[in-house]
Amino acid sequence: MELKYEATEDETFYRAYLGDALNMDEVISDNQIDLIVTSPPYNIGKEYEEVMALNDYLEFMRQWMLKAEEKLAEDGSFWLNIGFRKESDGRQYVPWEYDLYPIIRDEMEISLVQQVIWHYKAGVNCRHRLSPRKETWLYCVSDLDNYTFNLDDVRVPAKYPNQKKNGELKVNPKGKNPGDVWDIPKVTSGKGRASPERTDHPAQYPENVIERIIKASSDPGDVILDPFLGSGTAAKVARDLGRSCIGIELDENYMDEIINPRVFEEYEPPKGEDDEQMSLDELS
């Protein structure tokens, strides 16, 4: 495993390793990680993966997940993003969680808190079935009695914020719980319609999704791991939010052409209210 890029800020660090997630032992200590957030290859023939036999793929998933759980702190959280696989020459769409949950339940020492549905809205249209419009997050923790969950940091505006019952506001003035179905558009591509955050990676997850997970399941200064870093989304958002991040990516091209500029060389912190005020002052 090679440490390709690294940055530090006052209390936080960012490290991107070129290598195989299966070798994470080389660079991460046991119990070092507060939050794992990741989207592994789905074994569906994307440009970065060779399709494996089902059992070989499940063995790969088992191996990295068992290693990852050792890295997790006693009060850590593990968010796993998965989709579905096609069976019977594409006539069956089988959600990956049906195969992966038994590994979590029977072989790992983490517990499922719940499933979260990411409803990404647009996608391919099917003619012989309902068009897929969602992916799943399996939200797990090391200890069901002791884990970080910052609900106030992820509340969303209520539809009727002024509704009252017996003269009292019915809704929390800080907003409502975002629920377990998240309507967040995919990162789009295409001329004239590409999302501003779009990179050349073929499976980039949206910053909004990761922001919600990082805010809910970690505190500033915590250490986050994405063992399948891809375009670097988890590290970019961790950096925006003042959390440390360790990322692992097998593909050197993604590492040099996408992760390096996005998270290291050309990284710019998000504009805060003070910066906005300053640029308005500068304009006047």
Ligand X SMILES: C[S@@+](CC[C@H](N)C(=O)[O-])C[C@H]1O[C@@H](n2cnc3c(N)ncnc32)[C@H](O)[C@@H]1O
Residues found near ligand X in the complex (CB under 6 A): 20-22, 39, 41, 48-49, 201, 203-205, 228, 230-231, 233, 248-251, 254
Q: How far is the CB of 240 from ligand X (least distance, A)?
A: 14
When the beta carbons of 75 and 257 are compared against ligand X, the nearer one is 257
> How far is it, in rounded angstroms, from Cα 121 to Cα 134?
7
When the beta carbons of 47 and 282 are compared against ligand X, the nearer one is 47
Strands 33-38 and 223-226: parallel
**DSSP letter (8 states) at residue 132:** P
Number of H helices, E strands in the chain: 6, 13
Q: How far is the CB of 194 from ligand X (least distance, A)?
A: 15
- Closest residue to ligand X, based on beta-carbon distance: 230
Q: How far is the CB of 273 from ligand X (least distance, A)?
A: 27
When the beta carbons of 20 and 143 are compared against ligand X, the nearer one is 20
Q: Count the Cβ atoms, other than its own, within 10 Å of residue 259.
A: 28
When the beta carbons of 124 and 280 are compared against ligand X, the nearer one is 124
Q: Count the Cβ atoms, other than its own, within 10 Å of residue 32.
A: 16
**77 token code pair:** 């959280």
Dump strand ranges (E) for 148-260. 164-165, 168-169, 181-183, 223-226, 244-249
Q: How far is the CB of 160 from ligand X (least distance, A)?
A: 35
